[in-house]
Amino acid sequence: MLIIGPPGSGKGTQAARISERLAVVAISTGDIFRDNVKRETPLGLEAKKFMDAGDFVPDSVTNSMVRDRLAAEDVREGFLLDGYPRTAVQVTELDDILRENALDLDVVLQLTADDEELVTRLLGRAQLDGRSDDNERVIRHRLGLYHDQTEAVVSRYEERGIVTKVDGIGSIDEVTERVMAALKVAS
Ligand code: AMP
């Protein structure tokens, strides 16, 4: 499955809980990039300038990273992709990768939240853990990219009838309950 949501919607937190509950691996492109930035790998050095500006890392870089990850054995029993695809090009690439690996998508979970609520949340997070992409100008830019490019990604999956939307406003536990109900996972 995929989890898609605007920055600050809590998709990383919910992805961790879903992956535990369903016993499938969670793969977050944002986490993989941040880990590479921290270790100062060539991929990290390449990605950092885009991340700090709140831009998408180029499709070519992101796609090959996801292609490698989805070739691993641990995704064969199920996987949850968090933060990918975010562009139309990535949707097409993911279709190819899945076909080549004989994998399929069951569900695309979209977390929804209002922009102003997200800005407030992200400014709070910036103070807590000092993410370098969490100042207001960069936050608004990331939200703009979500509206301009990633909502169109959701539309592509809506055409396939596999999108489930969940309201991402509320406490972490409330949102998890809604997610599990929407996924029809017994709690
Ligand atoms: P996230 O933690 O999902 O908000 O991702 C943090 C940052 O990593 C994003 O703002 C982008 O710079 C980069 N990133 C993560 N996933 C992607 C993706 N699918 N395509 C391009 N850039 C990405």
- In this structure, what CATH number is given to the domain that contains residue 155? 3.40.50.300
SS3 for 181? helix
Beta partners for residue 109, in sequence order = 3, 164
Please give the number of the atom of ligand 1 that sits closest to the Cα of 145: 10
Domain count, the chain: 1
**Which residue did the predictor score with more confidence, 127 or 146?**
146
pLDDT band (50, 70, 90) for residue 60: very high
Mean pLDDT in residue range 55-59: 97
Distance CA 162, CA 106 (A): 7
Q: Which domain holds residue 41?
A: 2-186
Q: What is the pTM of this model?
A: 0.93
State residue 126's pLDDT score: 79
State residue 186's pLDDT score: 62
Active site residue 125: yes
Please give the number of the atom of ligand 1 that sits closest to the Cα of 58: 21
Please list every protein residue whose CB sits less than 6 Å from any atom of ligand 1. Answer: 7, 29-30, 33, 50-51, 54-57, 62, 83-84, 86, 90, 133, 142
Q: Which secondary structure element, helix H or strand E, spans residue 153, and what is its range? A: helix 151-159
State residue 108's pLDDT score: 98
Q: Is the pLDDT of residue 187 over 60?
A: no
- Extract long-range pairs of 125-129: CB within 8 Å, 24+ residues apart: 125/8
pLDDT band (50, 70, 90) for residue 128: confident
